[in-house]
């Protein structure tokens, strides 16, 4: 065995642990939950945000009616909009996932606002989040945490 092999293996495991893994897709009935991720928080005094794509491969719409997670006492779907140069944000309430369609929650638009944080979100960590749908029921996903300024899960 080469003397360099142990060093290479150690370097590989260090690099692999330095970056959070991409979340896997989760399928429940006709819904596919893809690429959940969140940005690291700045402490606990400010809200954080999480993102996800929800695809509906069925013939009828479903509705996201709620979200639960232990990292936030008040998770809600919010929409950010810019009108006349002024940015506004607020809750959207129940969110329809159209039949044979998808909804993407991403920076600059729809997103899961994680208010009243119960713990800081730290880069490299992850947390569980439950999406609650009218028809599909409860769907648990694991959410990897990326850097404060991440623009997507590749960060």
> Do 20 and 125 meet the contact criterion of CB atoms below 8 Å apart?
yes
Taking only the tens place, the pLDDT of each residue in 121-132 is 999 999 999 999
Domain ranges for the chain: 22-146
**Tokens matching residue 4:** 């360099």
Give the pLDDT score at 22.
53
Give the pLDDT score at 17.
40
Query: Locate tokens 């013939």: which residue?
Result: 59
- For the entire predicted model, the pTM comes to 0.82
Taking only the tens place, the pLDDT of each residue in 71-83 is 999 999 999 888 8
Taking only the tens place, the pLDDT of each residue in 28-63 is 899 999 999 999 999 888 999 999 999 999 999 999
- Specify whether the backbone of 137 is left (phi greater than 0), alpha (psi in -120 to 50) or beta: left
Whether the pLDDT of residue 142 is over 90: the answer is yes
Average pLDDT of the chain, as a whole number: 86
Q: What is the dihedral of CA 73, 116, 52, 35, to 10 degrees?
A: -90
- Kindly state the greatest CA–CA separation across the chain: 66
Domain spanning 22-146, CATH class:
mainly beta
């Amino acid at each position: 065995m080469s003397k360099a092999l142990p060093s290479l293996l150690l370097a590989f495991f260090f690099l692999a642990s330095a970056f959070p893994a991409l979340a896997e897709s989760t399928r429940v009935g006709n819904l596919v939950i893809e690429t959940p991720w969140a940005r690291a928080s700045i402490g606990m005094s400010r809200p954080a945000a999480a993102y996800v794509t929800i695809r509906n491969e069925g013939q009828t719409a479903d509705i996201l009616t709620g979200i639960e997670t232990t990292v936030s006492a008040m998770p809600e779907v919010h929409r950010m909009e810019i009108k006349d140069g002024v940015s506004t944000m607020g809750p959207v309430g129940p969110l329809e996932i159209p039949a044979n369609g998808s909804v993407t929650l991403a920076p600059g638009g729809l997103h899961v606002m994680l208010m009243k944080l119960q713990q800081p979100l730290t880069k490299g960590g992850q947390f569980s989040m439950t999406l609650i749908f009218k028809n599909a029921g409860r769907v648990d996903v694991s959410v990897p945490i990326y850097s404060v300024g991440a623009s997507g899960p590749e960060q």
